[in-house]
Each structure stands twice: as C-alpha cells, then as structure tokens.
C-alpha cells in the first residue's frame, strides 16, 4: 500500500472533526429548544452528523491513518471558535448554525474541488446536509415575522459570527501542517481573492433570504 | 381506526423520552471524554439512541398519537433525576450510564412483557442496546485496575444513583396518567415484590462484574 496523501488525510481530519463538533453543538442547542418537537428534531439532526462522521472516519482508516490523529491538529482552533460564540438562546443557536456552518461548508467545498474521486464526492456529500439549514431558516423567518426587532439583533450576531469565523480560519491555517494550503494551491488556476468573493456573495444571499442584513 | 390504547401510548412515550434523554446525556458525557477516540465512540452511541427514538416515535404516530404529547408527562420527573445526578467527571459519567440505564432498562423490560406484539418486541429491541454497557464496564474495570481506591468512590456514587433512581420511579409513577400502573397490573400473575427482587439481583450482579459493591 502506498503511503496516504498527507494533504488528503489532513483535510479529511478537518472534515471529520467538523462533523464531531457539529454533533456536539447541535446536541447542546437541542437543550435550548422551546418545545419537545423542536428538541427531538435537532437531536435527530445531530445524530445525522455522526453518520457523516463515520463515513469520513472509515475513509481515513482505509487510507491507513487514525481518525483521532488526523483530527488532533484542529481541536484547539475550532474549540476556540465555539467558546467565543456560545449562543445565549434558541435564536442565536439557529442563526449560528445557519450562518456559521454554511460558510464553513462553502469553504471546505471549495477546497474539496481539488481532491480526486472518491474523496471529492465523499466530502461534498457529507457537507451537503441541508436539512438543518432549512429548519434554521424557517425558525429565523418566523421569529422576525413575530417581532421585526429580532432582525437587528440577529444581524449583529451574524456579523460577529463571521468575524470570529475569519479569525478561526486563520487559526486553522496555523494549526494545519501545511496540507490544506498545499491542497488549495494544487487546485488548477486557484484565485484566492475570487474564492473569497464567491464565499462572500453566497453568504450575503443567505442572510438576505431569511431577512438578515450584512 | 380504533382509538389507540392509552396505556400503550403512555409507555411508548416514556420509552421515547428515555431515548431522547439518553442521547442528550451521552452527548454531554462525550465532552468529558479524556481523548478524541472515546469522545467519538460516545458520540456515536448517542446517535444510535436517536435511531431508537425514531422507531418508537414512528410507532406512536402510527397509533394516531403525537410523540411530543406522549412524552410530555415524563419530562419533569426524568429531568429532576438527571439534575440531581450530574456526573462530575468521566468515570462518574460512565458509571451512571452503566448502573442507571441498565436498571431503567430492566424495569421497562419487565413492563414491556405485558405488551402485545409488535410493541413488546419494539420496546425490548430499543432497550437492548448493550454496546454502551460493555464500553462503560471496560472503562470502570480499567480505572479500578489502575487505582484500587476508585472502586470505593464509584461504589458510593452507584449507591447514590440507585437511591435517586428509586425516587425517580416514584416521580414517574406520579407523573403517569395511570397507564403504566395499569400495564403492570395487566400482566398476568404480576408479583411486585418478586419483580423488585429480580431487578435488585441483576443490579448486584452487574456491580460485582465490574468490581463495585452494593
């Protein structure tokens, strides 16, 4: 067996740890749910993240690496992001999931474009779990419909999340063993400013779609 | 469609809420895990509880009732148990799962004996998720092997859990709308003292198996 591509294992480690953290965060958010129906819905979405985690972890093992070692470098950086953006209530929790997870998914999706199959498809598959985004968007819209002042408070919270996410990106890059950067660079004709423009445009669209402003 | 058996819906509500709580508790315990490997293992076990939850909730819906209404009466009583037995560390968490979940499962398993099929099989199936019990037992044994004094501390914690579980049973009975009591009474030749003797005997065996004492 040839040695696994370290850039690939690192990226899969980041994606796997992202799933594990999403599970943890959704499970904690479920406690903030205003009723049992929404609590159960969120708990099921959390469980779905673990099915994604298992797929990525199995691939890491198949590549001859250990999932816990592949995830290790990212623990501190991502934990710091979550510690600095602990939601105070249900609406902050769903906004964080709607805004934060989507921007992370978009970013990882761009990087995954540089992978060969089957890993490209695997990463895009596990990122493309949109059930929670739709659920979160419906919750935000309903809250704004019930009280228009909510839009201002949640817009401000969303801007703070993006700011923290950007500094998280910096921390992840610092934690990374050079592999992610290599992957981005490997992508043919990669244009980093254009990449950021795409990410920002999609983010703005997403905010507008639920009545929040940048 | 005939009206659903209220005793059956109530019992399924209790079992469903038990799964939702087990999910929540395992997800919280995962944060106490000493390493990523064990954290991921616990998170996957939490996710498995939600698959069980889904099976029971689907059955409640098929019976013409709403899962959130069936679960409602038990929320306060079970929450009080968990609030009064919050684990302080990893070993308390695994001991709580090993001792507390098993005794609850045994009790619900005895009640399920009074159900007709397919519900009898459904309840026994979702209770019979022993992966975590084996994982927890291995963790407790390893900790005692490393430091014999741990046995005393965890034995004391286990006794407290059983005491709280008994008073939880009283609270659940008070929350119950008479259906569980009816189900227990419906079981042919039910002998409540003998039932408690069986539960106690199995509990003692379980404690001894991992080096704890009653």
pLDDT-based confidence at B3, cuts 50/70/90? Answer: low
- Which chain A residue is nearest to residue B48, measuring alpha carbons? A47
A58 chain-B contacts, CB cut-off 8 A: none
Residue B29 or residue A107, greater confidence: B29
What pLDDT sits at residue A189? 59
What are the tokens at A70?
Answer: 């592949």
Domain ranges of chain B: 6-209
Cβ–Cβ below 8 Å for B24 and A46: no
Average confidence (pLDDT) over B117-129: 87
In the prediction, which pLDDT does B188 show?
59
pLDDT (mean) for A44-58: 94
- Which two tokens mark B183? 């189900």
Residue in B30, B40, B48 closest to A67 by CB: B40
What is the rounded average pLDDT for all residues in chain A? Answer: 85
pLDDT of residue A177: 64
In this predicted structure, the answer to whether residue B177 has a pLDDT above a threshold of 70 is no
- Tokens 């093992």 sit on residue: A61
Test A51 with B53 for CB contact under 8 angstroms: no
CA distance A168 to chain B (A): 20
User: Which of the two residues, A49 and A172, has the higher pLDDT score?
Assistant: A49
| Tokens at B197, concatenated | 């003797």
Given a cut of 80, is residue B117 above it in pLDDT?
yes
Could you read off the pLDDT of B34-92 as tens digits, one per residue?
Answer: 999 999 999 998 999 999 999 999 999 999 999 999 999 888 878 888 888 889 999 99
| A181: pLDDT strictly greater than 90 | no
More confident residue, A123 or A128: A123
- Whether the per-residue pLDDT at B129 is higher than 70: the answer is no
Structure confidence by residue, pLDDT tens digits, A61-111: 999 999 999 999 888 878 888 888 889 999 999 998 888 778 778 888 888
- What pLDDT score was predicted for residue B55? 95
Q: Residues near A90 by Cβ (< 8 Å), separated by ≥ 6? A: A29, A32, A33, A34, A139
* B179-186 and B6-30 helices, crossing angle to 10°: 110
Measure A4 CA to nearest chain B CA, in Å: 21
What is the arithmetic mean of pLDDT over B135-153? 93
Q: Which chain A residue shows the shortest CA-CA distance from B16?
A: A40
Chain B residues closer than 8 Å to A67 by CB:
36-37, 40
Q: Does B46 touch chain A (CB under 8 A)?
A: yes
Percent of chain A past pLDDT 70, that is, above it, reads 87
**What average pLDDT does range B175-188 have in this prediction?**
66
pLDDT at A114 over 70: yes
Distance CA(B43)–CA(B29), nearest Å, equals 9
Q: How far apart are CA A106 and CA A210, in angstroms?
A: 18
Q: Look at B43 and A51 and tell me if their CB atoms are within 8 Å.
A: no
Instruction: Give pLDDT, residue A6.
Output: 79
State residue B88's pLDDT score.
Answer: 92
Cβ-based contacts under 8 A for chains A and B: 78
Nearest CA in chain A to B72: A36
The predicted pLDDT at position B104 comes to 79
From chain A residues 54-83, the ones with a CB under 8 A of any chain B CB are 54, 57, 67-68, 71-72, 75
User: What is the C-alpha separation between A140 and A133, in angstroms, rounded?
Assistant: 10
C-alpha distances out from residue A184 to A63, A128, A196, B126, B158, Å: 21, 20, 13, 45, 52
**B1: pLDDT strictly greater than 60:** no
Cross-chain residue pair A30–B24, CB shorter than 8 Å = yes
The Cα A25–Cα B155 span in angstroms is: 32
Report B:2-21 residues touching A (Cβ under 8 A): 20
Q: Is B208 exposed, middle or buried (0-12, 13-18, 19+ CB in 10 A)?
A: exposed
The C-alpha angle with vertex B120 and arms to A35 and B80, in degrees rounded to 5, equals 35
Do the interacting molecules here have an ipTM over 0.85? Answer: no
The answer to whether the CB atoms of A40 and B30 lie below 8 A apart is no
* Averaged pLDDT for residues B92-112: 84
Q: Greater confidence, B200 or A141?
A: A141
pLDDT (0 to 100) of residue A102: 82
* Highest-scoring range by mean pLDDT, A146-160, A172-186, B94-108, B152-166: A146-160
Total residues found in chain B within this entry? 214
The residue with greater pLDDT, A195 or B27, is B27
pLDDT over 70, % of chain B: 87
- Which long-range contacts link B122-130 to residues 24+ away (Cβ below 8 Å)? B122/B55, B122/B56, B122/B59, B123/B11, B123/B12, B123/B15, B123/B56, B125/B52, B125/B55, B126/B15, B126/B19, B126/B52, B126/B55, B126/B56, B127/B15, B129/B48, B129/B49, B129/B52
CB A109 within 8 A of CB A124: yes
In chain A, residues 187-206 whose CB comes closer than 8 Å to chain B: none
Give the pLDDT confidence score for residue B80 in this predicted structure. 81
Using a CB-CB cut-off of 8 Å, the residues of chain B touching A132 are none
Residue predicted with more confidence, B102 or B68: B68
Q: Give the residue on B whose Cα is nearest the Cα of A43.
A: B50
Model confidence at A200: pLDDT above 80: yes
What residues in A contact B40, CB-CB < 8 Å?
20, 53, 57, 67-68
Please name the member of A23, A39, A68 whose beta carbon is closest to the beta carbon of B37.
A68
Task: Look at residue A190 in the predicted model and tell me its pLDDT.
Answer: 61
Q: How confident is the model at residue A157 (pLDDT cuts 50, 70, 90)?
A: very high
CA nearest to A32 within chain B: B24
What's the pLDDT score for residue A116? 87
Please enumerate in sequence order all residues whose Cβ is within 8 A of that of A121, keeping only pairs 6 or more positions apart, or say none.
none
Partner-chain residue, chosen from B36, B48, B50, that has the shortest CB–CB distance to A43: B50
State yes or no: pLDDT of B153 exceeds 90: yes
Fold classification of B6-209 is: Ferritin (1.20.1260)
């Amino acid at each position: 067996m040839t040695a696994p591509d370290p850039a690939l294992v690192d990226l899969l480690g980041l994606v796997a740890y992202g799933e594990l953290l999403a599970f943890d965060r959704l499970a904690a958010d479920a406690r903030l749910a205003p009723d049992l129906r929404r609590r159960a819905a969120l708990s099921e979405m959390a469980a779905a993240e673990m099915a994604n985690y298992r797929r990525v972890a199995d691939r890491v093992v198949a590549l001859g690496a250990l999932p816990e070692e592949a995830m290790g470098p990212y623990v501190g950086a991502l934990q710091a992001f979550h510690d600095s953006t602990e939601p105070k209530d249900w609406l902050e929790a769903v906004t964080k999931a709607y805004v934060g997870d989507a921007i992370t998914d978009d970013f990882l999706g761009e990087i995954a474009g540089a992978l060969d199959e089957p890993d490209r498809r695997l990463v895009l598959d596990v990122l493309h779990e949109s059930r929670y985004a739709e659920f979160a968007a419906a919750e935000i819209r309903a809250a704004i419909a019930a009280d228009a002042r909510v839009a201002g408070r949640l817009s401000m919270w969303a801007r703070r999340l993006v700011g923290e996410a950007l500094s998280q990106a910096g921390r992840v890059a610092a934690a990374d063993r050079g592999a992610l950067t290599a992957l981005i660079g490997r992508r043919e004709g990669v244009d980093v400013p254009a990449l950021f423009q795409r990410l920002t445009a999609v983010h703005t669209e997403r905010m507008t779609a639920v009545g929040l402003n940048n």
